[in-house]
Amino acid sequence: MAKLGKRMVAARAAFDGKANLSVEEAVKLVKANATAKFDETLEIAMNLGVDPRYADQMVRGVVQLPNGTGKVVRVAVFARNAKADEAKAAGADIVGAEDLMEIIQSGKIEFDRCIATPDMMPIVGRLGKILGPRNLMPNPKVGTVTMDVAAAVAAAKGGEVQFKVEKAGVIHGGIGKVSFTEDKLAENVRAFVEAVVKAKPTGAKGTYLKKVSISSTMGPGVTLDLASTAK
């Protein structure tokens, strides 16, 4: 087993015996122990009472964080003509059609979000095996297949976060930087939890929201008092 560094030993000691904290207490604890040499991300993990192998228990959606993510989001848009111009004007980093498809097929993926107009989906569909595993495939359910490309680009760059449940019934997300104020991080935590709760699928049985925890990129996690996550 790898030996823990002094920073991690100190962080674990600070977290020892602490669990089910209020959102404010947990954020304060995580911020105080995020001592890496870069601006760490506040990560959230939610354990849900669903089995995503069943279509009626899939949890997927998008949330606009009130204080953004603190991350520079690179956006690619599949569009032609006027819609391509609209995407460029809105600040898209890469805009194209067949040429963009060829760039992606070559293995060059220099973007964090992919948006497409509906008429581009036959082209984008060829990239399913590349974009799908990276969670980059445009999807109308989360607003990334749309004719309003300007709004989609603005949302992506303004703090919009997509979420999708994983096999074990867990949702992960980055919801801000530890350099944010405690109040802003707490607001982001509650906004994310609220969005996931609203996305509860029809097939969910029993307890839906089982556990919520937060951590910094390089730090230990702490569980939240579920009652405190409600707005």
Residues contacting 59, CB < 8 A, separation 6+: 48, 50, 52, 163, 164, 165, 171, 196, 199, 200, 201
Q: What whole-number distance in Å separates Cα of residue 76 and Cα of residue 193?
A: 27
Phi first, then psi: give them for residue 203, nearest 5 degrees: -85, 0
What was the pLDDT predicted at 187? 97
Torsion sign across C-alpha atoms 143, 110, 157, 192: positive
**Tens of pLDDT, residue by residue, the chain (231 residues):** 556 566 667 677 777 777 899 999 999 999 999 988 999 999 999 999 999 999 999 999 999 999 999 999 999 999 999 999 999 999 999 999 999 999 999 999 999 999 999 999 999 999 999 999 998 999 998 999 999 999 999 999 988 999 999 989 999 999 999 999 999 999 999 999 999 999 999 999 899 999 999 999 999 999 999 999 987
What was the pLDDT predicted at 8? 67
C-alpha distances (whole Å) from 153 to each of 78, 125, 162 are 12, 20, 14
